[in-house]
Structure 1
């Protein structure tokens, strides 16, 4: 299980709450890096170079547009992160419990990845696609038309103009990204954790952060093309997955599929450490408050 403490049979409500807390903390703390990555992936004027240093992008936006611009879409991302990580930790924990070895409580590497993939698909359908759509549309709109006044205004405007499908623009790319990203992030983290168990390595904050950071690196390098396609699909005007792929290849060629890798890598290493450390800490805090905690520990 991805949980802290006794590491056995984390109740569903605890997984959901701890995952939501961890997602909210991670989303809020690392948002400027997410903003920079999204800006670079959105379509720019052909021939105009885009910086690779996320801090340079952040500095330029701050100087030209102010501090508020840097947090455009942050609310949508945080809300989405709370829902997304609550759902994916919940489903991952439940799936892992169902398939774990009865004696050791661990999963094979392949089953770890499959459990993560399943959790990612559910998260994409229930939370990630619409909130990512709003976040990306807000960031794109802020540099051009400036039509959207807030996340709520963007949601209602897109709904009026395009209906439910408008909020699910980029669903294919988002689901591919979420399925693969959750598989690699959750799978890698738990493979490392299971390995450390067999070596009697103590699970503390430093180890949790290091494991989460390694999982972030693996996730970024494995799933970057899906992230670029998703971002292009979810621009302010929105486009299909096929059109997004075509525009990326026309603008930058095949290497465009890895646009923003450096920026996303910086964020996922940082956010991966924060996410799993926050989750483990939240489980330890919530478990004693859960009415069935004593029975769970005894069982």
Structure 2
């Protein structure tokens, strides 16, 4: 087995590759995220039922009525949050992997892969995901109604003024549950697949990385969609608790409401999973020799 498969990943490589990949993934797939969030925010009785059943028709209507620029409303906060989120996620996961992987094979057991992903998801939710997701959702929600927020900075100022610092952590429970589950499935399943391929001698390249990331995205979406719906409903422009968010889903849509936006989110995660891990692997391959060389010199 090549030396680099057994060597520990530098924390600098994890942070840079994860951050760059997160920013690329967030920007390139944002219209899917925008549409998914708007669908989940249609909670008034009778309105959600009038929406087209095909989520791509909804996306086309939004584009036709509001333009492409409107479909990137709140994108800045998500990109910044994704850079921080994925830098933290990759750093946390690689730290766990460095500590517990088999020294001979350079792999983790499936359970440790999943637990490593869960830990990195919780850490990312605390330090990056919840406040940026809250800001993104509030901006998208505000754009379809009151239009009180001039921009992201103005939105932060109003949220803190009206609800205090805790306003940026609305939906923390739902977001953390989603991140713990999503990162566990995404990072865990991707690395389980990658470790399996490594033991079978399957060459890792861009196409393989993209397919593996897409599969991980599908597994993640199907498993964690209810948490995503609860998180979105908790982070609207109007102050809403996690309990109120769950109650509103049950009141207007029933159990099936917890899977609202699944098709659009699935469309995004198939691409985002492939883009995220392909980008991360590519960046790591470029910068890893730089930090390896520096370590040897030190």
Q: Give your verdict on TM over 0.5.
A: yes
Distance 1:197 1:117 in 2: 23
Q: What's the offset of the Cα at 1:295?
A: 2.9
Q: d(CA) in 1 for partners of 2:146 and 2:140?
A: 11
> How far does the alpha carbon of each residue in 1:208-257 deviate from its partner, in whole angstroms, 9 at most, with x for none?
00000000000000000000000000001131111000000001001111
Q: Which range moves more in the overlay, 53-62 or 249-258? A: 53-62
Q: 1:38 aligned to 2:37?
A: yes
- Aligned equivalents of 2:15, 2:145: Cα separation in 1: 38
The count of aligned residue pairs is 293
Which residue of structure 1 lines up, in the alignment, with residue 197 of structure 2? 196
CA contact (8 A) 1:287 1:293 kept: no
Deviation at 1:52, TM superposition (A): 4.3
Equivalent in 4, 7, 10 of residue 6 of structure 1:
4
Partner residue, 1:181? 182
1:140 is matched with which residue?
141
> In 2, distance between residues paired with 1:149 and 1:178?
29
Q: Is 1:105–2:106 an aligned residue pair? A: yes
The aligned residue for residue 272 of structure 2 is 271
Contact 1:43 / 1:232 at 8 angstroms: preserved in 2?
no
The TM-score normalised by the length of structure 2 is 0.95
* Counterparts of 1:25 and 1:72, CA distance in 2: 17
Contact 1:212 1:273 (C-alpha < 8 Å) held by counterparts: yes
User: Kindly tell me: are residues 115 and 291 of structure 1, through their superposed partners in 2, closer, same or farther at Cα, counting changes over 3 Å?
Assistant: closer
Secondary structure of the residue that 1:236 maps to in structure 2?
Answer: coil
Q: 3-state SS of the aligned residue for 1:290?
A: helix
* TM-aligned CA deviation for residue 104 of structure 1: 1.2
Q: Gaps (5+ residues) in structure 1?
A: none
Return the offset for 1:58: 2.2
1:196–1:293 Cα change, 3 Å: farther
Mapped to 2, the partners of 1:153 and 1:68 lie a distance apart of: 19
Shift of 1:126: 0.1
Rounded to whole Å, the distance in 1 between the matches of 2:108 and 2:36 is: 34
Structure 2 unaligned regions, length at least 5? none
Are 1:52 and 1:260, in contact at CA under 8 Å, matched by a contact in 2? no
Give yes or no for contact 2:36–2:264 (8 Å, CA) kept in 1.
yes
Distance, in Å, in 2 between the alignment partners of 1:88 and 1:5 is: 24
2:26 corresponds to 1:17:
no
Q: Secondary structure at the match of 2:158?
A: helix
Task: Identify the residue that residue 27 of structure 1 maps to in structure 2.
Answer: 26
Give matches, 1:1-299, under 5 Å: 6-7=4-5, 8-48=7-47, 49=49, 50-290=51-291, 292=293, 295=296
1:67 Cα deviation from its structure 2 partner: 2.3
Between the aligned partners of 1:10 and 1:153, the Cα distance in structure 2 is: 39
Deviations 1:92-137 (A, max 9, x none): 0001111111211111111100000000000000000000000000
